[in-house]
Amino acid sequence: MSHSVLPRNQLGDLQGRMSQPFVPQVHGMQTISFVTSFKCGGFAIGISTSHTTFDGLSFKTFLDNIASIASKKPLVVMPCHDRHLLAARSPPCVTFPHPEMLKLSDLPTCPDSNIFEASTEQLDFKVFKLTSNDITKLKEEAKNSSTSGGTSTTCVTGFNVITAHIWRCKALSCEDDNPNRSSTILYAVDIRSRLNPPLPKSYAGNAMLTAYATTKCKELEELPFMKLVEMVREGATRMTNEYARSIIDWGETNKGCPNREVLVSSWWRLGFEEVEYPWGKPKYCCPVVYHRKDIILLFPPIDGGGGVSIIVALPPKEMEKFYGLFNKFLTLD
């Protein structure tokens, strides 16, 4: 536990001070939670988790149960810890190609390349904000750019347009500006209800798999925005029971990791800010930034209002391009 001589309201805009996050090196047994108290009586709780233990939905259940225990009440949800529900089949049966996955044996072998560690290059960090009006405008851009006439608009969700918008900005800001370069975006999909039989709603492990969309950079710039949104939608639609089981079996057979240019991880509607502790709901919940340029995080804005905040980490030149594209595409008529 640590203490701050400042009250919470004098800390300023925390969203603008993430370039040097306080993540101390811990030796020996690692701390999984840390409390910082402020002069005003408020406090912040930082919690470290592993995706081998939780996904976002499971962690929300964990917090609900912690809050209930702290209030001397019974568990809100009795968690299901049966990991066998997501075990590979015997024998494994990979029935689909999985370009979204990369075999560990195919990873670069140079000493400076480690896909599991933070980047050593200089990165700038910025929180981009989309208001509810911005999201509505992106939806309208998608619908208005449809050239097929009969294209369904059911895929024009907030998440799909935000992800498509991030994808084109990230790909086109890359240092490698080859228009024929392929760009792949990954994003998490909850498979609880997609399996047959479905997982219990109380499943408390990691039931997220990565959907993907891929195309050439020149198409990200030239295609109608609706087409990009449809690509994002198709990635999630692809995640059927058989496809999910195929990915699990692929992992058992090949041992690998996600293969992408960028991964979008969404805290946007997980509801961490709605957990009712004995002392009330949190004033604000957000993730700690990753020192990696291939992970982009979505989370609720501090002022609510239906918008979304987006943490991006990029080298300075790429960040400058990303910033310009992010605003340019928002102002297109």
Tell me, yes or no, if 234 is annotated catalytic: no
Contacts of 200 (CB under 8 A, 6+ apart): 80, 192
Q: Are 241 and 209 in contact (CB under 8 A)?
A: no
Contact 119/315 with Cβ under 8 angstroms? no
CA gap 180, 173 in Å, rounded? 14
How many other CB atoms are found less than 10 A from the CB of residue 261? 19
Instruction: Chunk the chain into consecutive blocks of 10 residues (it has 333) and report each block's average pLDDT, rounded to whole numbers.
Output: 64 52 54 87 91 93 97 96 96 96 79 53 93 96 74 77 98 92 96 97 95 97 96 97 98 89 93 95 87 92 89 95 96 73
Catalytic residue (choose from 3, 51, 121, 175): 51
- The pLDDT score that the predictor gives to residue 32 is 82
| CB 130 within 8 Å of CB 308 | yes
Say what the pLDDT of residue 195 is.
98
Please, which residues bridge with residue 178 across strands? none
| pLDDT of res. 150 | 45
pLDDT for the residue 306: 86
| The Cα angle at residue 160 between residues 208 and 14, in degrees rounded to 5 | 80
Catalytic residue of the set 219, 276, 291, 318? 276
Q: Where are the domains of the chain?
A: 49-331
Fold for 49-331, please state it.
Chloramphenicol Acetyltransferase (3.30.559)
How would you label 312-328 residue by residue, b for 16+ Cβ within 10 Å and e otherwise?
Answer: bbbbeebbebbbebbee
- Is 276 a catalytic site residue? yes
